[in-house]
Amino acid sequence: MTQEVKFYQTGTFTVGNRLLDEGQRTVQASVARSNALTSGHRACQGCGEALGARFAVDAAMRATQGQLIAANATGCLEVFSTPYPETSWQLPWLHSLFGNAAAVGSGIAAALKVKAIKAGKAQSEVRVIAQGGDGGTTDIGFGCLSGMFERNDDVLYICYDNEGYMNTGVQRSSATPPGARTATTVPLGPNPGEEFGRGKNVPLIAVAHGIPYVATATVADLHDLEAKVEKAMSLRGARYLQIFVPCPLGWGAASCDTIRLARLARETGLFPVFEAEHGEIASVTKIRHPAKVEEYLRLQKRFAHLFGAHGRPDIIARIQGIADKNIKRFGLIAEEVAP
């Protein structure tokens, strides 16, 4: 009848835990975290991308003992963090163009490899990440990204997915979900918002490249996110991590709901959280407390046209269908284990 006391019951999923060993707490719980993206940046209130970037880069900094260089695509993350001459980045950081972050990452990795060989070492101790938003990754930078994957360059590419071009005024990207209003997918006509059947699933495309490691994560589950960054940094070759980062401005959501939205995206099944190694799905993070998509959609003005007197329950049902399909496809809900 007794259950093992292996964790602090009220803190297992929290950032820290006063009763756990330091080593079992998250990087973010530590006052020694690198704060790779420090205060004073100009991201909006409640920015999910700023949060996701600090979570991921701090974890990568710990995994590499601070031996890390970042290449950054154009986008919110670059604009809000580095208005000339200030920067919020506390690591070597390069910005070149919108679409070439993966290529810049590949180049840095190649240079480091040459340096290491010249120094008589098998490989570089300094590691490389390349990062950008979904626009710079799934649309504009996609060719460079695919090239980085197929050459298996030693770069971790991190895509902060906020489902649109937020920096330029909330336009549609190939990561914008069906039904969502953006400046370019207006909520008019029989199919308001983004059309069903468009867009692409870059994590699965990355899996199809057969690269060593692909994972998805959200800003709502820090333990999961940090474990994935750590895993990625323990491997060599091309790796891809897509982090779901809600955008209060672009989604028309309350700034305090950023993490709640990310949590709901996972708990509804709309954003499947999984890991893949060498082309095969290796693990899936199960839904803890299942939720219906309506709860998630209601919090966002980009879906406001689906509700109210002239609402579109049929479209909500189609979105629920996407979630249900994900749950089935990835096995997101734990099967009842027979006692």
Partner 1 sequence: MTMKKPFAITLDPGSSLANKTGAWRTERPVYVDRLPPCNHTCPAGEDIQGWLFQAEGGNYEAAWRHLTRDNPFPAIMGRVCYHTCEGACNRAKLDTAVGINSVERFLGDEALKQGWALAGPEAENGKHVLVVGAGPSGLSAAYHLRRMGYRVTVVEAGDKPGGMMRWGIPKYRLPRNVLDAEVARIAAMGVSFRYGEKVADTAATMKALGADAAFLAIGAHIAKRATIPAKDSARILDAVSVLRSMEGAEPPMLGRRVVVYGGGNTAIDVARTARRLGATESIIVYRRNREKMPAHDFELEEALEEGVTVKWLSTIAAAEGGQLTIEKMVLDAEGKAQPTGEFATLDADSLVLALGQDVDMSLLQCISGLVTADGVVQVDPETMMTGHPGLFAGGDMAPGERNVTVAIGHGKRAARHIDAWLKGEVLAAKPERPLAEFGRLNTWYYSDAPGTMRPVLDLARRTSSFDEVQGGLNEDTALFEARRCLSCGNCFECDNCYGVCPDNAVIKLGPGNRFEINLDYCKGCGICVSECPCGAIDMVPEEG
What does the binding site for partner 1 look like in residue numbers (CB under 8 A)? 1-3, 5, 7-19, 25-26, 28-29, 31, 35, 37-43, 45-48, 50-51, 54, 81, 84-88, 222, 248, 254-260, 263, 288-289
For partner 1, give the closer residue by CB, 80 or 240: 80
Cα distance between residue 325 and residue 7, in whole Å: 34
Q: Whose Cβ is closer to partner 1: residue 11's or residue 210's? A: 11
**Listed residue (79, 14, 69) closest to 36, CA to CA:** 69
Would you say 288 or 325 has its CB closer to partner 1?
A: 288
In the complex with partner 1, the residue whose CB is nearer, 263 or 312, is 263
Contact by Cβ (8 Å): 7, 20:
yes
Nearer Cβ to partner 1 (128/264) = 264
- In the complex, minimum distance from the CB of residue 217 to partner 1, in angstroms, rounded to a whole number: 15
Of the CA atoms within 13 Å of residue 163, those in its CB half-sphere come to 27
Token pair belonging to 338 = 């027979």
In terms of Cα–Cα distance, which of 263, 266, 261, 267 is closest to 302?
261
- As given in the structure block, the two tokens for residue 45 are 């209130």
Instruction: State in angstroms the smallest separation of the CB of 114 from partner 1.
Output: 23
Contact 199, 270 (CB under 8 A): no
CA 143, CA 138: separation in Å to the nearest integer? 9
CB of 265 to partner 1, least distance (A): 13
Closest Cα to residue 76, out of 145, 184, 170, 141?
170
Which of 172/228 has CB closer to partner 1? 228
**CB of 286: closest distance to partner 1 in angstroms?**
12
CA-wise closest residue to 81 among 51, 127, 114, 40: 40
Shortest distance, position 222 Cβ to partner 1, whole Å:
6
- The nearest distance, CB 150 to partner 1, in angstroms, is 34
Cα dihedral: 149, 152, 158, 161 (round 10): 20
Task: Compare residues 56 and 202 and give the one whose CB is closer to partner 1.
Answer: 56
In the DSSP assignment, the letter for residue 192 is: -
> Distance between CA atoms of 140 and 144, rounded to whole angstroms?
9
Q: Nearest to residue 40, comparing CAs of 87, 84, 95?
A: 87
Closer residue to partner 1 (CB): 6 or 310:
6
Cα–Cα distance for residue pair 217/275, rounded to 1 Å: 9
Least separation in angstroms between residue 268's CB and partner 1 is: 13
CB of 120 to partner 1, least distance (A): 31
